[in-house]
Amino acid sequence: MILDRLYKIYVYFMYFFILIPLIIIVGTSFSASQYVTFPPEGLSLKWFIVVLTSYDWMFAFFLSAFLALVAMGVAILVSLPAAKALAKHKVQIAGKDLGVALRTLFLSPIVIPMIVFGIGIAITLQSLGLYGTFAGLVIGHLIIVVPYMLRSLIVSFEGIPDSIEEAAITLGATPIRTFFTVTLPLAKSGLIAGSLFSFIWSFENVTVSIFLSVPGMTPLPIRMWGYLSEFADPSLCAVATIFIAVAFGVFIAVYRRMGKASMFAV
């Protein structure tokens, strides 16, 4: 009984510890004060109005959203065949299975510090003449989101018995038709979860974006970073609240579509 109570206290403390920064940010965003204060000195929506009527903030927001959608879409196209090959087929050279080595290579952006990739991507794009372009931003974000898409899809593909695909082929379906009508629907949870993580990771990324952004092509997180160094009003908290709302909105939409068990299966 005592252990159960201690466990509950610990769990509630962890919830509070995690949520308190978000509570402060959201509370401050509704402040009527000209400065960042908590608790807020009166309640007002004026900082949301300031943000939503600002061309710079809205451009940065829609740029980040569009960038995240494009990076997510391209990541799906790139990751589907790669994940299927790594999950279902052995990659051998000179009789040696290179599957583990290839997985490690593809997942390296998760392990290696993002700042290293940011510098490397910036130098590479500069040499290709793509630095400061939207295409360059997409390439940079694609490199950092593909590992999350791959990981989710590989786990899903590995959970599909080979006998199901073999049965479909035996009944006359071509390999391509089998993939799109049998395999892919069974891997839906991994695809949706990978898309969710890819979108959010791209939308909120700072470490790589800061090396690839130029005036006129600045994603929302970099715009927030620059604003923080110059101003100290609650409009930044209003942007952060919108940021939080978008992330939670995507999460809840996927949660309602898939359910708890399917969503966390990967």
Kindly write down the DSSP assignment for every residue of 196-242, as one continuous string.
HHHHHHHHH--TTHHHH-BTTB--HHHHHHHHHTT--STHHHHHHHH
pLDDT tens figures, 189-206: 888 888 888 888 888 888
pTM of this prediction?
Answer: 0.78
| Candidate from 37-46, 148-157, 251-260 with smallest mean pLDDT | 251-260
Number of domains in the chain: 1
pLDDT tens figures, 178-189: 888 888 888 888
**Structural domain contains residue 265:** no
**Structural domain contains residue 81:** yes
**Structural domain contains residue 190:** yes
**Structural domain contains residue 134:** yes
Alpha carbon separation from 102 to 86, 89, 145, 149 (Å, rounded): 8, 12, 17, 15
The domain that holds 174 is classified in CATH as 1.10.3720.10
pLDDT tens figures, 126-173: 888 888 888 888 888 888 888 888 888 888 888 878 787 778 778 777
Determine the average pLDDT of the residues in 28-52.
77
Please check the confidence at residue 90 and state whether its pLDDT lies above 70. Answer: no
List the domain range (segments joined by +) for residue 65: 54-226
